[in-house]
Amino acid sequence: MSFTGIAGLGGLGFVLVAITVNVVYVRARLPLPVSDKDLEAITDDFAAVGDALKRPSVIVPASWLCATVFAAGLLSELWSGGSGPGAWALVGFAGVLLQNATFTCVEALRFGMAAAAARDRGSVAGLWGLSNVLFGFNQVFLAIALLGFTAAGSTAGLFPTWQTWLGYGSAALLFAASSAAPYNVGGTNRFAPVGLIGWLGWIIWIVSGSVTLIRL
């Protein structure tokens, strides 16, 4: 199989892992950055989480690997050097790398809050606020990835018109949600649905892009 085909499988793998992890978190009632519970309830949840926090995190690194391979596949198809429209793919690739790095911190903070809740409950407030705002700011990197790859892909004729509009629209929603991140210190805010819609658009965009790469 060609590298682009592997990259397409990587994109589908990223989507599968991301959805699986989120389903596990919801079903196990594990604390999420978008939770609207009060701080005492959040602290109690983290104190009681135990090994339930570790299990879904085992497969999280696979999502970062898959996302990077997918992004590299798009980059290899859309940019061949120079400063033409294909160079926008570099912006998209940078967005994916920054998203991976930022979400690594978000994931690690969950373990920090679990340890703090069990040993020093007073420190959970600061870690919880940091996690919420970082989670919100992370959406700008998804927006950057969508903007860069959509601009390069649409110019090259790689993406259909509907995917181009989906990419730009989702990028706008994610950017708006990330700008509201400072107001998310305590949990869910009014812009949370905007970010969720943008994230769902990002997932659909990746699935379509992955199928395109597999077919090349």
- Count Cα atoms within 13 angstroms, Cβ side, for 190: 0
For residues 143 and 158, is the Cβ–Cβ distance under 8 A? no
User: Residue 137, exposed/middle/buried by CB under 10 A (0-12, 13-18, 19+)?
Assistant: middle
Range of the domain at 192: 3-215
Domain count of the chain?
1
Q: What percent of the chain has a predicted confidence (pLDDT) above 90?
A: 58
Q: Is the pLDDT of residue 162 over 70?
A: yes
pLDDT of residue 191: 73
pLDDT of residue 51: 77
Count of C-beta atoms within a 10 Å radius of residue 21:
19
pLDDT in tens, 36-88: 778 888 888 888 887 778 888 889 999 999 999 999 999 999 998 878 889 99
Round the average pLDDT of the chain to a whole number and report it.
Answer: 90
pLDDT class of 124 with cuts at 50, 70, 90: confident
pLDDT in tens, 83-110: 888 999 999 999 999 999 999 999 999 9
pLDDT of residue 45: 83
